[in-house]
Amino acid sequence: MPTVRVEVVGEGSRRLDLDADATYGDLLVALSFSPHEAAVLVDDAPVPEDRPVDFAADEVRVLRLVKGGTNADEGSATTVDDRVRVRPAAADDHLDVMRVVDGAMLTADAERVRDRIDAGTVLVATVEGRVVGALVREGDRITAVATRRRWRGRGVGTALVSAAAEGRERLVAAFDPGLRPFYESLGFETEPMGDGDRLRGRLER
């Protein structure tokens, strides 16, 4: 069997023995991930799960995604790419916000998001005018944070959550365990929510 070296971001590297006709979906399964839990990047470009594995590729990386009520798309706070700008979402950003949120496999009601935009509690992260991330807030609660796939790991989530916290005495979020280092690195105190493995984070100033 041919071998491929894979870096699981934040968790180190592994060598996998795969069938010669294996796809990147098979690679994820060999790592005990589903395509809904992780994305494969080859030479820093995302690849579809049905593409055959290129065993000669110089760099294969796997980024773990986050499922559930929020998705910062980062395992810990990172340095923000200096091209990222954060601003309140405008009415004509609604479609881009929904695309970002849907692309991260989060559930959000389109009309509720529109109402949040009108209320001024949705933030978008942009690069050269293009929306690459979004954060939806209801009162003190973050209900969704999402980043376009190609911009994950570049500090977009950090920029959005940091901007949402500016000028607020309290901010809360519910998230899966994989995001605990991210929120704690931004100053959130975390605790179990009860049954299941979901966590609650609270930032108070």
Give the C-alpha distances (Å, rounded to integers) separating 109 from 28, 94, 156. 30, 11, 23
Question: What is the CATH number for 93?
Answer: 3.40.630.30
Are the beta carbons of 6 and 27 closer than 8 angstroms? yes
- If asked whether residues 90 and 181 sit together in one domain, one would say yes
Q: What is the pLDDT of residues 20-79, one digit of tens each?
A: 999 998 998 898 876 656 678 887 677 778 889 999 888 888 876 533 345 555 555 556
pLDDT in tens, 156-187: 998 899 889 887 889 999 988 888 888 888 88
Question: Is 162 found in the same domain as 123?
Answer: yes
CA 145 to chain centre: 7
In a domain, 137, yes or no: yes
In a domain, 69, yes or no: no
- 103-123 pLDDT per residue, tens: 776 777 889 999 999 999 999
Q: Which two three-digit tokens encode residue 81? A: 């790419």
Give me the pLDDT at residue 16, please: 92
Q: Which domain CATH number covers 36?
A: 3.10.20.90
